[in-house]
Amino acid sequence: MRALTPHQFIDVIARAGSIRKAAEALAITSTALNRRVLALEEELGVPIFERLPRGVRLSTAGELLVTHLRHQASDFERLRSQLADLAGARRGHVSIACSQALLPFFLPEQIGRYRRDHPGVTFAVHLRDRAAAEAALVEHDADLALIFEPIRLSEVQILASVRQQIHAVMATDHPLAARDTVRLRDCAAYPVGLPTAQYGVRALIDLALVRFSIRLRTVLESDNFDFLRRYPAQEQLISFQIPIGLPEAPGTEGVVSRPVDTRDIPEGRLYLCQLRGRTLPVAAAKFAAQVEGTLAQRYHG
């Protein structure tokens, strides 16, 4: 059996919910893995897992242990980055949980810029809705989160936030494309495509519809903003997005965007955040500083 730290095997079992599934992921036998668990439970004097008919789940003591082990792993990664800095070689790993709007343009640009200067740094980028992104910070699955509306958890520390006005996306020849801004009641005259309920853009639109007693003719609903951004090229349909999720060059992909009047839909906020009280690894901290600077330059806070 290969050497495994408690952090490795306890964390994998906790996520899998089964010793058998965890053993498969770790490429060891379930018998050997179970022996490691029993030995650690004997050493600690408390059960780490509750045995269930179809798997296991962490006991209260196990939850405390996993939190401790994750903090240890995070601290060790930070130490590795600091040691790499001392050696003059920027290395490390940055894990990001983000809203969909960051994926097409902003994050590829920012990561590419960072890695040109620091090619030894690796990245993991995971699409997460608002609640899941915040949870990823708490569970140390992500160093940073970039999410649009809102922040709920007291454990989250906001590093930067910028205003994002909701934009209506439409074909280049759409009747509303000639306007500088559009009103929500004007959009109601055309079919629309909306993101699903878990997204901040949809939450702001729904609040506005209730406030002004406007009904939209929704013919498309999707949890994929890339699809919603591209589809208006196919027909006289309007979808919605925030500026950071739109191409800088107008008219690309056969669509344009126009801001929705803030009298109808107020601006939302995009947040760059980390876990409160956590000292980030060097690579993650420096990448966060780069992103913060770019956001401030483009969107003026």
What is the H or E stretch that residue 270 is in? strand 268-275
Residue 89 has pLDDT above 70, yes or no: no
pLDDT, mean over the chain: 89
Cβ 217 vs Cβ 190: under 8 Å: yes
d(CA 220, CA 231): 10
DSSP 8-class letter at 142: -
Give the chain's count of helices (H) and strands (E): 10, 12
pTM recorded for the entire structure = 0.73
| Residue 10 CB partners (closer than 8 Å, separation 6+) | 37, 40, 48, 62, 65, 66, 69
Of the listed ranges 29-43, 87-101, 245-259, the one predicted with least confidence: 87-101
Which domains, from first to last, does the chain contain? Answer: 6-64 (1.10.10.10), 90-163+269-299 (3.40.190.10), 166-266 (3.40.190.290)
Residue 150 has pLDDT above 90, yes or no: no
- The mean pLDDT of 126-153, rounded to a whole number, is 88
- The mean pLDDT of 48-66, rounded to a whole number, is 89
| Residue 301 CB partners (closer than 8 Å, separation 6+) | 161, 162, 163
Residue 275 has pLDDT above 90, yes or no: yes
- The mean pLDDT of 146-166, rounded to a whole number, is 88
pLDDT for the residue numbered 10: 87
Q: What's the distance, CA 28 to chain centroid?
A: 32
The rounded percent of the chain whose pLDDT value lies above 70 is 94
d(CA 238, CA 187): 7
Q: State pLDDT tens for residues 195-222.
A: 998 888 999 999 999 999 999 999 999 9
Cβ 85 vs Cβ 115: under 8 Å: no
pLDDT band at 7 (very low <50, low <70, confident <90, very high): low
Residue 301 has pLDDT above 60, yes or no: no
